[in-house]
Amino acid sequence: MSAVVQWAPFRLRDYEWDDCRDTLGDLVVRRLEGFAPGIGGLVVGRQVLTPLDLEREYGLAGGHPLHGEPSLDQFFLWRPLLGHARYRMPLERLYLCGSGAHPGGGVTGQPGQNAAREILSDWKKRRQ
């Protein structure tokens, strides 16, 4: 089983992630117990990856598996940054269709679908 726990802070106020890894794992298992009683007793091994681990091991800036903080300044017109939304980049015919585009990462394919819609719209305008 894999449990993806989102929105854990990259920096902890009074502690370091390397010292709190097991605490996070314990919290997640306790939370899962509320939905699946007894699941904690079935765990025979675990690997807890903190946001710091995600940055160190996989190069995910800030430990964000979905390519950016899921906060208000990362949605709609602000993703990837103000002035570069709508999937068009500063170079003509260059489009952003990955996790950096709204609505962000994951397995939805939505950024690609949205970029494709903009590409087709631009293509139709050029043909006229």
Per-residue pLDDT of the chain (128 residues; tens, 9 = 90+): 888 887 788 999 999 999 999 999 999 999 999 999 999 999 999 999 999 999 999 998 888 877 666 677 777 777 777 777 788 888 889 998 887 788 877 778 888 999 999 999 999 999 88
Which residues are CB-neighbours of 40 under 8 A, at least 6 positions away? 29, 30, 32, 33
Provide the Cα torsion 112, 117, 119, 121; round to 10°.
Answer: -170
- The two structure tokens encoding residue 105: 């990462």
Give pTM, 2 decimals. 0.65
